[in-house]
Amino acid sequence: MRASRRGVLQGLAAGAISGGLTKPAGAATQAAPDPTHRLWYRAPAKAWTEALPVGNGRLGAMVFGGIARERLQLNEDSLWASGPYDPINPAARQALPEVRRLIAVGRLKEAQALADRTLIGTPRTQMPYQPLGDLILRWPGLTDDAASDYHRQLDLDGAAATTRFSAGGVTHRRTVIASPIDQVLMMTIEADRPFDLDIALTSPQQDIRVETTRDRLTLTGRNADHAGVKAALRFAAQLGVVAHGGTVTAAEGLAVRGARSVTLFLAMATSRRGSDDLSGDPLADVSRTIDRALARGAVKVAADALAEHRRLYRRTALDLGTSPQGLRPTDERVRADRAVDDPALATLYFNYGRYLLIASSRAGGQPANLQGLWNESTNPPWGSKYTVNINTEMNYWPAEPTGLGECVAPLVQMVRELAISGERTAREMYGARGWVCHHNTDLWRATAPIDGAPWGMWPTGGAWLCTHLWEHYDYHRDPAFLASVYPLMRGAALFFLDTLQTDPATGHLVTSPSLSPENEHSPGVSICAGPAMDQQILRDLFDQVARAAAILNIDAEFAAQVKAARARLAPDRIGREGQLQEWQEDWDARAPDPHHRHVSHLYALFPSDQITPDRTPELARAAHKSLEIRGDQSTGWATAWRANLWARLHDGEHAHRIIAYLLGPQRTYPNLFDSHPPFQIDGNFGGTRAIVEMLMQSRDDELLLLPALPRAWPTGSVSGLRARGRCRVDLRWREGRLVSAMLVGDLAGERIVRLGDRQTRVTLTPGKPIRLREADFV
């Protein structure tokens, strides 16, 4: 009787988490899934980019939805190759002055060659993110071809991947969740008749050992060496099994026989406890975690996981309209390439981006990397690292305006750790104070340049990351947080006060050596002084440091120094084609790739707001010209950036054309992962932010409502957007015109609210809603 009651409770929990979509035995049909909160398919995944992601910020799984054999590909976010290492090139400090001299006299090929030999780190690469392994489940007696009425889905609101099908008159139901409260992956497996199940854990890592007891399966191992750096991590995974109405025995894995339902709890951990602490005991950690999950039981684990996910996910709601296209399976909607006829697909993409951020970035874990949390390869593209010349920053673009400020916590922690390693790089490589990070980093927080001089000699990654510290403050206006991160911002600015060079031709301050990220200004040559993006990022950094010092009433002398340096930074320039120049010289027309994926010189337009159509119209027109020259279609993340840029230019039709391309089969995989190609998650996050930018923009204490609304979204609503200064914004529009805007501020103060070329001024009182209609704008 007791086991039967547990089985019923677990079945109810699985049904609740899957949004009530668990099909009763014998049912032949089911209502179509919600086209804005569900990804769904009529067949199991054949490729990894068809599988469905679940994650709790630290643990992740890709669920394939198999019939007779199921695979959950597993990740733990601190499992990377190798161990701590010192990448600073010992020749760098001595060679740096000569590299700068060669740049100053225009001998750029020589400067790049010397930089490549002497400034690039040793090793010349960083360490890759790693998969932990696979959970493999097999059902003896089941065959793939015997299944019918197959349905698998990812419920974004319920944070659950479910699989359901019938075979031989028996309905099978499986649900996978990732609990951020209990720190386990949990899978419930049910069928209308007793079934058998074989369970195994495998790993591609080193020194793998698998042990079984009656109801537990434990895998231990260590990570691998890489690029001459020795492995230093140990890891463990443990699976706890609860079978209802059956038996569990130890074999090569675990064998379940005659069960009516089975619940699996899976915990994973490594020995990393901090950037310089690898003393953890992962086996003890996972054992305690499984003990706790088993004691709490599936119902409590499921209920708490659901509540915690919805606490974040339900803060924002978007409705862009629906159409018959939305009733089709997700892969068919992408393949149809008809985003104009399927506005709910853009809503689904927006919701999916928020889901992915919640699932891959939570306090206590690592930041979302190039693939977020999910990676099946020991040699992933670009190491699945943190590329901080755009990609890591793009991962966090949707966080603040869509109400997910807590998800920024891992990024803030990474910047704290980078400031430590980056201080040594600044001192040993540049002879400078403060700290620096170049264009990539990894779990070990390496900050030296990598990948060779043509890409690696970009010193502004740490500065860009610091703007996210200010962004988090600016949205929440918490002086305690600002005080805690001010030393990081100050250290980044201090580095540039020590290293900026005076351009002998103009007297302006410029970075040197540097480059415009991943682009060449002439064949084979990237190195230069003062690329536009550097100057723009430093204008933001210096301004934010000075403003922070004033808010905190500290450091007035240093604030005066950064203000003075900011005034001397080289300004943005307009080239002979009317474009915003990417470099100090008007080299854009001669650059080998006029359609280059990076649009680094447009940082000032977005994510910054140094360039706007109303405040700096001449520069905005130059940015418009640069976008025309670059073209709309690029890699996945670069396409998403372009959509944001066109939204900032208030061109909703152009922004929507790019969104439509982003959502098509060229740039979106069947599981809605962004296709660079291959998969990079930054395009998902960038696309989510672009949708926000089309509906609402926030700068200082100004709000712009519906600044780039396209004709494809004539009627709709959004609730729960966040503006700077702790202000919630809800919007409704009909036939392209504002119906109402609701503003609710947590802080008192004035806001200027703009609607097209009209505006109104409002005074916010904490907790008191203000409703605006179109007639309120003059």
Three-class SS of 445-485: CCCCCCCCHHHHCCCCHHHHHHHHHHHHHHHHCCHHHHHHH
Q: At what angle do helices 282-313 and 343-360 cross, to 10 degrees?
A: 150
Instruction: Supply 160's token pair.
Output: 């659950």
Q: What is the C-alpha separation between 38 and 534, in angstroms, rounded? A: 41
**Amino acid type, 633:** Q
Within the chain, how many helices (H) and strands (E) appear?
17, 27
Q: What is the C-alpha separation between 387 and 322, in angstroms, rounded? A: 37
Q: Is 209 exposed, middle or buried (0-12, 13-18, 19+ CB in 10 A)?
A: exposed
Whole-angstrom distance between the N-terminal and C-terminal Cα of the chain?
71
Domain range summary for the chain, segments of one domain joined by +: 2-81+128-314, 92-122+361-631, 716-776
Q: What is the C-alpha separation between 366 and 386, in angstroms, rounded? A: 10
Please name the residue that has the structure tokens 């006829």: 341
pLDDT score for 32: 66
In 3D space, the residue among 486, 487, 509 whose CA is nearest the CA of residue 498 turns out to be 509
User: CA 98 from chain center: how many Å?
Assistant: 39
Interacting residues of 766 by C-beta distance below 8 A, sequence separation 6+: 745, 746, 747, 748
Instruction: Supply 595's token pair.
Output: 């359609």
Sign of CA dihedral 661, 662, 663, 669: positive
pLDDT score for 276: 84
User: CA 264 from chain center: how many Å?
Assistant: 28
Q: Is 766 exposed, middle or buried (0-12, 13-18, 19+ CB in 10 A)?
A: exposed
CATH number assigned to the domain covering 92-122+361-631: 1.50.10.10
In 3D space, the residue among 514, 58, 697, 686 whose CA is nearest the CA of residue 675 turns out to be 686
CA angle (110, 112, 118) in 5-degree steps: 100
Residue 146 carries which DSSP code?
G
Q: What is the C-alpha separation between 383 and 327, in angstroms, rounded? A: 37
Strand partners, 174: 163, 189
In 3D space, the residue among 588, 596, 557 whose CA is nearest the CA of residue 572 turns out to be 588
Phi, psi (deg, nearest 5) at residue 652? -65, -35
Q: What is the C-alpha separation between 322 and 714, in angstroms, rounded? A: 11
Helix or strand run (H / E) with residue 692: helix 682-695
Q: What is the C-alpha separation between 270 and 77, in angstroms, rounded? A: 9
Q: Output the CA–CA distances (angstroms, integers) from residue 267 to 239, 271, 275, 618, in the order listed.
A: 7, 14, 22, 56
- The answer to whether 167 and 149 are in contact (CB under 8 A) is no
CATH number assigned to the domain covering 2-81+128-314: 2.70.98.50
Which is it for strands 247-250 and 234-244: parallel, antiparallel or unpaired?
Answer: unpaired
3-class state of residue 191 by DSSP: strand
pLDDT score for 775: 96
Helix or strand run (H / E) with residue 131: none
pLDDT score for 5: 32
Q: Output the CA–CA distances (angstroms, integers) from residue 124 to 141, 388, 437, 449, in the order listed.
A: 52, 17, 15, 8
- The answer to whether 639 and 676 are in contact (CB under 8 A) is no
Phi, psi (deg, nearest 5) at residue 122? -125, 110
Q: At what angle do helices 682-695 and 636-648 cross, to 10 degrees?
A: 10
Mean pLDDT split into 10-residue runs, the chain, 778 residues: 36 39 35 86 98 98 98 98 97 98 98 98 98 98 94 98 96 98 98 97 98 95 98 98 95 95 98 93 98 98 98 98 94 94 97 98 98 98 98 98 98 98 98 98 98 97 98 98 98 98 96 98 98 98 98 98 98 98 97 97 98 98 98 96 98 98 97 97 98 97 98 98 98 98 96 98 96 97
pLDDT score for 31: 59
